[in-house]
Amino acid sequence: MEKNKKIYVAGHRGMVGSAVCRVLENEGYTNIIGKTSKELDLRDSIAVKEFFEKEKPDVVIDAAARVGGILANNDYPYQFLMENMQIQNNLIDAALKQDIQKFIFLGSSCIYPKFAPQPLKEEYLLTDTLEPTNEWYAIAKITGVKACQAIRKQFGKDFVSLMPTNLYGTHDNFDLQTSHVLPAMIRKFHEAKLNGNTPVELWGSGTPMREFLFVDDMAKSVVFALENVLPEHLYNVGTGEDLTIKELAETIQKVVGHTGNIIWDSSKPDGTPRKLMDISKMHNLGWKHQIELQEGIEKTYAWFLENIENFKQVKL
């Protein structure tokens, strides 16, 4: 991949998109473009089509999505289903019609069935029912995966889907109503520490197992997919290692320096019991994560402290 190829990163201001842009720049890519949601509404098919006709990108990386945790998915099912389908369908279709050869679609491990065997293999897709607390987002992402697979099959283009495990890192969303578990814990423990190390109440039992990947490692997997022709249409991206939510909470508590109690509210949902990714396909091709969990949490907490006055909040 020539370093001057025009690369359009959709969602370039989000946690994943901004990491992709940073890593691309560090690798010497010089022609990266992005548009804010005010400049280009990705839900508007005509606007997206006109943008592609004007800019003519060589590569499209789709890191744009409406995202959130269990609470947001439960409260706004229609938006999570419809807006994510609109965004990805418009980008995929415009890329096809503009004859773009390389398209990298980013999804989520929630596309796999709730009780699929562990670790999750790519071939488990559509073999059973989804986790009901985030099925709306999952169904949207599944349609994106299948659209890219269909284009690959019918038109022979290099459209590939990367499914990351739970991502976290700098530029994350720390809003307690819409954030994912790791950044929400960072904020809760930090605020409790400031309030005299008051107890922190967390959802669920603490027993579910989860895997976490630092966002810069995810971005490096995108560059890997950019610079190589991957032989299949779907790849998991993760660390291949997981821990309990209780262990995660204790790790974050230690990094933040909170010394109070943790209270588990078992009346709240746990979600999927375990979600560990089988990442052997990416490992066999030559990609592997570099940043371990504690180091990643330390980097994320440092960024949170630096941006505490204006950290990202999602408006619904």
The single residue of 8, 29, 112, 137 carrying the catalytic annotation is 137
The reply, when asked if residue 161 is annotated as ligand binding, is: no
C-alpha 195/C-alpha 5 separation (Å) is 51
The reply, when asked if residue 238 is annotated as ligand binding, is: no
The reply, when asked if residue 166 is annotated as ligand binding, is: yes
The reply, when asked if residue 15 is annotated as ligand binding, is: yes
Helix (H, G, I), strand (E, B) or coil at 253: helix
The reply, when asked if residue 289 is annotated as ligand binding, is: no
- Joined together, the tokens standing for residue 25 give 């720049």
Concatenate the DSSP letters of all residues of 197-230 into one string.
S--EEEES-S--EE-EEEHHHHHHHHHHHHHS--
The reply, when asked if residue 13 is annotated as ligand binding, is: yes
Bridging pattern class, strands 200-203 and 166-168:
unpaired
C-alpha 257/C-alpha 12 separation (Å) is 32
Taken in order 247, 177, 255, 65, the sign of the CA dihedral is: positive
The reply, when asked if residue 4 is annotated as ligand binding, is: no
CA distances from 210 to 13, 85, 181, 245 (A): 26, 26, 10, 7
Is residue 137 part of the annotated active site? The answer reads yes
H or E segment to which residue 301 belongs: helix 293-306
The reply, when asked if residue 283 is annotated as ligand binding, is: no
- In the chain the first and final C-alpha atoms are separated, in Å, by 38
The reply, when asked if residue 69 is annotated as ligand binding, is: no
The reply, when asked if residue 167 is annotated as ligand binding, is: yes
The reply, when asked if residue 1 is annotated as ligand binding, is: no
The reply, when asked if residue 152 is annotated as ligand binding, is: no
CB atoms within 10 A of CB 198: 13
The reply, when asked if residue 197 is annotated as ligand binding, is: no
Binding positions for substrate are 188, 203, 210, 270
Task: Write out the binding residues for NADP(+).
Answer: 11-17, 106-109, 141, 164-167, 180
Q: Catalytic amino acids?
A: 137
**Binding-site residue set:** 11-17, 106-109, 141, 164-167, 180, 188, 203, 210, 270
